[in-house]
Structures are given as C-alpha cells and as structure tokens.
Amino acid sequence: MRDQLFLQIPALRRYARMLTGDAWAADDLIQDTLERACTKWLLWRVGSDLRAWLFTLMHNLHANQVRHQRHQPSPSLIVDAESAEPELIAPPSGVDQRLDLQQALMKLPQDQRQVLLLVTVEEMSYQEAAQLLNVPVGTVMSRLYRARSRLRELLEHTAPLKVDNHTARTTGPRLTRLK
C-alpha cells in the first residue's frame, strides 16, 4: 500500500502547485494531505480509487485552508534593500508564457481553476471530478466551460507597450485548445 501511495505523489504535487500557485504552499499542502492519509488510512476502502481518495483529501484540506486564510490578516512582505540583487536578471526564453499562464490560472475563481486542473492536467473524467468536488456533473461541465472561456480572455488580452514614446498594442499568446 505504501508503494501505491508514493506513486501518487507526482500527481498530487502537480495539482497542489497549480491549485496554490506557490511551490512552498503546495509542498505544505502535499505534506498535510499525506499526513491526513496516514491518520485516516483505515477509512480508505481497499479496491477503491486511491488517487481519487487522496485528491479528495487534498481538496478538502485546501478548501479549509482558504476558508481559514480569509479570516487572517495578510502578512507584510519585508525586503532587505542591502541584500537585494543590484541587477534584475531576465528569465530564460519561454518562461514568460509559462508565467502568463500561471498568472492567468491564479486569476480564475477557485472553483473554476479546480475543475480545469482536474480535467485538463490530471485527465480526470467529468464524473471523477464531480465525485471529488462533490458537485453534479453538469456543474463540472459549466465550470470547465467558464474557466476555459475566462482563461482564453486573459491570455488573449492586449496590453499597451511603450516603444520610443509611442504606444503599440501587442497581443499575448493565443490559446486554441486545452484538451
């Protein structure tokens, strides 16, 4: 059983990173999920889908964390100016599009982002996603449609770009199909 649990960690990590938008928070969420799985191991039914059970645990933990954070004041970010890097280093090419996608995903409402990630990244069926999120299949389909539409809008936006005191319009990367 332990080996089956370890085989699920890459999928959990992938989903947690996209869900939280932060590598540290994702690692904490994975650790909390695995800890909960170990303490609740007797509740898992042999022969049932371990992956779905772990994703349900993660989903519920994340929902509880988000609910708890709404009631907490946000911490201030303190940067030591003397230890900061004197020059900004440009990211390697191709990173810009990944950052745009990550930022666009984080702008989606959480319920839409969850469905989009489960269906497109984790390749769950609508039925599996509906069971995991405890919503009807029609709700999954609706949220997925709205998430894809909103993501397309966010990625196809036009942003002003200053060029020699003139303003030019540039278009972002086009999203044609997610699945």
Scan for tokens 């509880």, then name that residue.
64
| DSSP letter (8 states) at residue 164 | T
Measured CA distances, 23 to 16, 19, 117, 131, 141 (Å): 8, 10, 16, 27, 28
User: How many domains does the chain fold into?
Assistant: 2
* Low-confidence spans in the chain with pLDDT less than 70: 1, 71-99, 158-179
CA separation for the pair 58, 64 (Å, rounded) = 10
Q: Can you say whether residue 49 is alpha, beta or left, with left for phi > 0 and alpha for psi between -120 and 50 degrees?
A: beta
What is the pTM assigned to this prediction?
0.54
Provide the CATH number for the domain around residue 60: 1.10.1740
In which domain, by residue range, is 169 found?
93-179
Per-residue pLDDT at 141: 94
Asked whether residue 110 is domain-assigned, the answer is yes
